[in-house]
Chains A and B, each alone.
Chain A
Amino acid sequence: MQVNNSSLPYSERKLQQTASHVSRGVADVADVFVTGLNFMQPHSTGLMWLDIGMGVGHALYGISRVAVAMDEDKTPYEAQRCRTQAFGECLQVAGYVGLAAGMGPWALPIVALGAAVSNFAYFQ
């Protein structure tokens, strides 16, 4: 999430943005961990629920990005950034659905591609 409250002092906004980057990094680490587990132990029942949970999490985040992109106060750059991020999240959801449905390691490139697009948009 980007920090938009311009009434805050610059140092405070910068600190909040750093916190936002850290939470983004933690989410990426969780993705790497879960996809790594899928690579090592495909077709495990417990992992299926973990994949579904990750898919739901990414879907909710993607929906929040779409909502932000539709906000008329956003600049064209910010709106486009949110749309691209939402598309990356959508790809990740598709990858996790594939993993939960039993595609096995074949779904991992889709998750990786989605993560790459989402991170590219986030840090662009």
Chain B
Amino acid sequence: MNVREASMLPYQREQRRKRLEMALPVSLGAASLTIGGSSIAAGQVASGALQLDRLDPGQAAGAFMPLRIASGAMAVANIGVGLYKLFGDEDEEKTAWQIASAAGNFVTAAGLAGQALAWGPWTAAVTGLGVATTLVADIVQRKRGE
């Protein structure tokens, strides 16, 4: 046990462990929203530059491509997390909130996949809905101690 942990009360240690555990879904949601938001913003900048003839279509597509790949990668990560929540621990009985959280991950993945395929800014709403669902489900699940 390290110096800092040794100085904590057991209750404090447990509270901090829960906080650290909660940081994972929160940061995954924040990363999904950041990638999704950047993708939408870059798309808007590129289309604005196209309209002003500051970029040709090839350049615009090239500039946008790394963000589309990043959106796709984040969609795959969300699917992985969702599958882990559903099938990760076979011995544990899944609660409705865990299933809702996994469903939120799949909705987020759908939104990000839409952004990777450049289906337009409305896909950001799907990403946001998925992130919100996951966060609410995770928070409720932890509050209920499940």
Contacts and interface: CB of A to CB of B under 8 A. Distances in A.
B42 interface: yes
A interface, by DSSP: helix, strand, loop or mixed?
helix
Nearest to B66: A103
A87 B27 contact: yes
B54 interface: no
A117 to B, nearest CB: 5
B1 A4 contact: yes
Contact of B2 (A17, A84, A120): A17
Contact of A101 (B14, B38, B66): B66
Interface in B2-26: 2-5, 13-14, 16-17, 19-21, 23-24
Interface string A79-100: 0110110011001001000100
Contacts, number: 82
Nearest to B17: A77
A1 B144 CA distance: 33
B2 A106 contact: no
Interface-centre pick from A77, A78, A83, A116 (highest chain B CB count, 10 A): A77
Nearest to B70: A98
A78 B2 contact: yes
B59 interface: no
A98 B66 contact: yes
Contacts of B19: 124
A113 B35 CA distance: 11
B42 A106 contact: yes
Contacts of B27: 87-88, 91, 113, 116-117
Interface stretch (A6-14, A25-33, A54-62): A6-14
Interface string B56-72: 00000000001101100
Contacts of A53: none
Contacts of B20: 77, 80-81, 83-84, 121, 124
A4 B3 CA distance: 8
Contacts of A10: 3
A36 interface: no
B31 interface: yes
Contact of A102 (B24, B28, B38, B66): B66
Interface of B: 1-5, 13-14, 16-17, 19-21, 23-24, 27-28, 30-31, 34-35, 38, 41-42, 66-67, 69-70, 73
Given A83-B20, A101-B69, A106-B38, 4 more contacts: A3-B3, A106-B41, A107-B66, A124-B19
